[in-house]
Amino acid sequence: MSITTDSADRADTASSTRTVFRTCPLCEAGCGLEITLRPDGDGGEEVQRIRGDMADVFSKGYICPKGSTLKQLHDDPDRVRKPLIKRDGVHVEATWDEAWAVVEEGLGGVIDRHGREALAAYVGNPTAHSLSAMLFSRVLLTGLGTRQRFSASTVDQMPRHVASGFVFGTPMSVPVPDLDRTDYLMILGANPYASNGSICTAPDFPGRIEAIRERGGTVVVVDPRLSRTAEEADQWIAIRPGTDGLFLAAIANTLIAEGLADPGSHIMAHLAGLDDFSSAIAPFTPEAVEEATGISPETTRKIAHELVEAESSAVYGRIGTTTTEFGSTASWLIDSVNILTGNLDRPGGVMFSTPVAGGPTTHGKPGSGRGFKVGRGKTRVGGYPEVMGEYPAGAMAEEILTPGEGQIRALVTLAGNPVLSTPNSDQLTSALDSLDFMVSIDLYLNETTRHADVILPPPSQLQRGHYDVALLQFAVRNVANYSEPALPLDDDQPDEWEIISKLTLIAQGLGVDTPPSLADDMAIAALVRSAVGDEHSSVSGRDPEALITELSAAGRRGPERMLDFMLRSGPFGDGFGTNADGTSLDDLLDHPHGRDFGALVPRIPEILRTPSGKIEIAPEPFVNDLIRLEEAMPGLADRGLVLVGRRHLRSNNSWMHNIRVLVKGKPRCTLHVHPDDAANLGLQDGGAASIKSRVGAVVAPVEVTASIRQGVVSLPHGWGHGMPGTKLGVAAEHAGVNSNVLSDHEALDPLSGTSVLNGIPVEVGAAP
């Protein structure tokens, strides 16, 4: 293993410590870390200290409490280090050869008996944070040859992709708030003080929010809870859960009705559907939505005026807007409002990143494309349409449990914990129990992987290279940062891409002896051929073999070789000799603190990939969905208690609760209840509450707090540890309850298949 030493690296020969720099792969902020290594007394190295990298071009030293725990994660004795095979119901350590043999028999048996459609895959969130898993999950999904694909996207951001797909032409064409230049930011359903932001890559998001106010700007937060972000804002709007679409529709309605709407000449030249949009939005007056949203018409009108009158403004929405019944439509309305206020694609408004490693927004013909389609296939049981090549995670259990042709009999999970993260956990638990075979690529023996026949452990986060291929597509600056592994692989430990490749090759029937490099060679060939065949690519018409030979010259393979190609053929790349100042993996190795390619620049019309070559502000699926939204209004107004989630800075979905420093202190998995509701329900602070939904029930400790809207209760997700057969010693001591026992697998946004995880109707009462 080699680690570049450049002038910034320090080697203190006296104690032989060494400093390396890498990007934190735990959340979307992508902070730069400075890691000091020292000899471990055993001929190797161990981490002495992790702190923020002051010289990182993007994060400039910022770090959150999770970032430094990569050391504890690496050292965690509960982390799986050898493959585990389930024998007589108990997971025991095995060699890689033994594990692969069981995988071959298990997957092969199901394929022989039931065909490939009986295979399914669930891909979890850390896939987006692992270079290996990100680039090779495609290999896996294609190689399995099944349409039964599920992921954490449908308990997360899928609505955002659907909106972008229809409006701008690709699901990755997401306009992000230009945080560092905006004068007015309205945040709906996001709490970056806890989450550090999402689908808006911005290390030190909180600092960037504070800077808006410091330069005289305004921050408004729309959230049923007085979140930490809302506390820091100029205004908190305590919306009723699930009604952001209505609030946004009323803002759009006001802008049009009062003649305030002006997309600006730059956008008007490329905008289609404004008349259709205007008529479709007509019913949603501020008065009409008031009862449902709980927001007064005065407030709605005031916000509409402020958004237009500010020098620049940006509306940004996240989890609280997407994981709701109208998630896609709400995401579309966010774009629509930004268009109407004249803030799309201009500094201080919402803008598109130019990803240095390229992506759907940089590939193909600039200005138009094939557009975005959904519904190429439907689920067998629920009839839910395909979206971005996958089906709703909420439908996975019924596809496993319902007999008949096409029933799922074997499951592969990659970096996912759907038992704690997707709806109706009790149903999913029974489903996983009933499978013929399950294999998980995961770091832990947890609530999901305890069901697996085989667990294949990847190396730890410190033992792999890193580049945020996915998340830098949504960055608030155009930056690039590659990190080499800080520590070498353990003996016999394959890299994560090798595990994924081998699993794929076995599923394809090629046997356990086929080297993973075969899948890698096919993947790089496909990548290079596709770019060479793209007449708008910087490598158009080049000889693919020659390019692959050049890429492989340094002995590079796997994700690093693919990344090098993506960088070199990308918008800032060296073009394999055509752009002398351009970047490449070698160039990034020379820049261990990252390279900054500047603030975002206007990209319309070049970024558009709609068939019309226009920004489609009134796509039919959304205009039609407004009818459903209108019809839902009375129901949304008089629901009883509803449940929402929340995040804490020291958690990371379901899987960092085994790190002691992150879970110490008072229990965090509590039910937040407004004082008036507590009085009505007979709940005491510190007492227990039973919470029941249509599908399940849990008991949780009560925390009475005025920082939540009346009629709303909040329970964080990702808890519910301590199940039999898991190995998470610390997490079990801080078990908490699983909020997704309560979320309903049938409640989803029909346009994206995304589950309703916020705004779940519940009954709450005192528990003994």
What token pair was written down for 85? Answer: 């095979």
CB of 100 to ligand MGD, least distance (A): 16
Give buried/exposed letters for 586-602 (b at 16+ CB in 10 A, else e): ebbbebbbbbebeebeb
The SS3 assignment for 216 reads coil
CB of 129 to ligand MGD, least distance (A): 7
Instruction: Decide: is 396 part of the binding site for ligand MGD (CB under 6 A).
Output: no
Q: Which span (134-142, 257-265, 571-579, 648-656) binds ligand MGD, by CB under 6 A?
A: 648-656
Beta strand segments in 126-212, E? 149-151, 176-177, 184-188
CB of 294 to ligand MGD, least distance (A): 11
Q: Closer CB to ligand MGD, residue 206 or residue 342?
A: 206
Beta strand segments in 113-174, E? 119-123, 149-151
What token pair was written down for 479? Answer: 């930056």
* Window 15 to 34, contacts with ligand SF4 (CB under 6 A): 24, 26-27, 29-31
CA gap 151, 120 in Å, rounded:
11
Q: Which span (122-130, 167-175, 476-484, 508-516) binds ligand MGD, by CB under 6 A?
A: 122-130
Of 654, 693, 752, 754, the residue at the interface with ligand MGD (CB under 6 A) is: 654
| Residue at token pair 């707090």 | 705
What token pair was written down for 647? Answer: 């995040």
In sequence order, the 6+-apart residues with CB closer than 8 A to the CB of 142 are none
CB of 79 to ligand MGD, least distance (A): 9
Q: Confirm if 492 and 56 have CB atoms less than 8 A apart.
A: no
Q: Which span (39-47, 89-97, 408-416, 686-694) binds ligand MGD, by CB under 6 A?
A: 408-416
CB of 52 to ligand SF4, least distance (A): 7
Instruction: Decide: is 137 part of the binding site for ligand MGD (CB under 6 A).
Output: no
Q: Closer CB to ligand SF4, residue 157 or residue 362?
A: 157
Q: Confirm if 282 and 630 have CB atoms less than 8 A apart.
A: no
What is the bridge-based pairing of β-strands 17-23 and 32-39?
Answer: antiparallel
Instruction: Decide: is 475 part of the binding site for ligand SF4 (CB under 6 A).
Output: no
For 506, list phi and psi in degrees, rounded to 5.
-65, -45
Instruction: Decide: is 133 part of the binding site for ligand MGD (CB under 6 A).
Output: yes
Instruction: Decide: is 161 part of the binding site for ligand MGD (CB under 6 A).
Output: no
Give one word for 61, left, alpha or beta, with left for phi > 0 and alpha for psi -120 to 50: left
Q: Closer CB to ligand SF4, residue 487 or residue 499?
A: 487
What token pair was written down for 738? Answer: 């699983």
Q: Confirm if 487 and 462 have CB atoms less than 8 A apart.
A: yes
Interface with ligand MGD (CB under 6 A), residue total: 64
* Window 39 to 68, contacts with ligand SF4 (CB under 6 A): 63-64, 66-67
CB of 523 to ligand MGD, least distance (A): 18
CB of 454 to ligand SF4, least distance (A): 30
Q: What angle do CA 254, 173, 477 make, to 5 degrees?
A: 95
Q: Closer CB to ligand MGD, residue 267 or residue 452?
A: 452
Q: Which span (90-98, 208-216, 428-436, 653-661) binds ligand MGD, by CB under 6 A?
A: 653-661
CB of 125 to Mo ion, least distance (A): 5
Of 32, 171, 203, 224, the residue at the interface with ligand MGD (CB under 6 A) is: 224
Q: Which residues bind Mo ion (CB under 5 A)?
A: 156
358 binds, among Mo ion, ligand MGD, ligand SF4, none (CB under 5 to 8 A by kind): none
222 binds, among ligand MGD, Mo ion, ligand SF4, none (CB under 5 to 8 A by kind): ligand MGD
Q: Confirm if 224 and 708 have CB atoms less than 8 A apart.
A: yes
State how far the alpha carbon of 688 is from the alpha carbons of 682, 684, 699, in Å. Answer: 10, 8, 7
CB of 182 to ligand MGD, least distance (A): 17
CB of 327 to Mo ion, least distance (A): 13
Cis peptide bond N-terminal to 355, omega within 30: no
67 binds, among ligand MGD, ligand SF4, Mo ion, none (CB under 5 to 8 A by kind): ligand SF4
Q: Closer CB to Mo ion, residue 425 or residue 538?
A: 425
Of 182, 218, 427, 758, the residue at the interface with ligand MGD (CB under 6 A) is: 758
CA gap 277, 623 in Å, rounded:
7
Instruction: Decide: is 651 part of the binding site for ligand MGD (CB under 6 A).
Output: yes
Q: What angle do CA 539, 542, 546 make, to 5 degrees?
A: 115
One-letter amino acid for residue 735 of the chain? A
CA gap 573, 580 in Å, rounded:
9
Q: Closer CB to ligand MGD, residue 23 or residue 354?
A: 23
Q: Confirm if 22 and 584 have CB atoms less than 8 A apart.
A: no
> Site mask, ligand MGD, residues 433-472, x = CB under 6 A?
--------xxxx-x-----------x--------------
* Window 243 to 262, contacts with ligand SF4 (CB under 6 A): none
CA gap 670, 539 in Å, rounded:
55
For 135, list phi and psi in degrees, rounded to 5.
-75, -30
Chain residue at closest Cβ approach to ligand MGD: 320
* Window 716 to 735, contacts with ligand MGD (CB under 6 A): 717-718
CB of 172 to ligand SF4, least distance (A): 21
30 binds, among ligand SF4, Mo ion, ligand MGD, none (CB under 5 to 8 A by kind): ligand SF4
Q: Confirm if 432 and 440 have CB atoms less than 8 A apart.
A: no
One-letter amino acid for residue 390 of the chain? E
Instruction: Decide: is 227 part of the binding site for ligand MGD (CB under 6 A).
Output: yes
CB of 50 to ligand SF4, least distance (A): 9
> Site mask, ligand SF4, residues 180-209, x = CB under 6 A?
----------------x------x------
One-letter amino acid for residue 541 of the chain? G
* Window 24 to 83, contacts with ligand MGD (CB under 6 A): 27-28
655 binds, among Mo ion, ligand SF4, ligand MGD, none (CB under 5 to 8 A by kind): ligand MGD
The SS3 assignment for 247 reads helix
| Residue at token pair 């493959």 | 83
One-letter amino acid for residue 418 of the chain? P
* Window 679 to 718, contacts with ligand MGD (CB under 6 A): 717-718
CB of 666 to ligand MGD, least distance (A): 17
Burial class (CB in 10 A: 0-12, 13-18, 19+), 664: exposed
| Residue at token pair 């009818």 | 627
CA gap 573, 583 in Å, rounded:
4
Q: Confirm if 217 and 205 have CB atoms less than 8 A apart.
A: no
Q: Confirm if 708 and 687 have CB atoms less than 8 A apart.
A: no
CB of 364 to ligand MGD, least distance (A): 28
What token pair was written down for 462? Answer: 């410190």
CA gap 293, 222 in Å, rounded:
11
Using CB under 6 A, list all residues that contact ligand MGD: 27-28, 124-126, 130, 133, 152, 155-156, 188-192, 194-196, 198, 222-225, 227, 239, 241-242, 244, 318-321, 324, 414-418, 421, 441-444, 446, 458, 644-649, 651-655, 717-718, 739-740, 743, 757-759
Using CB under 6 A, list all residues that contact ligand SF4: 24, 26-27, 29-31, 63-64, 66-67, 196, 203
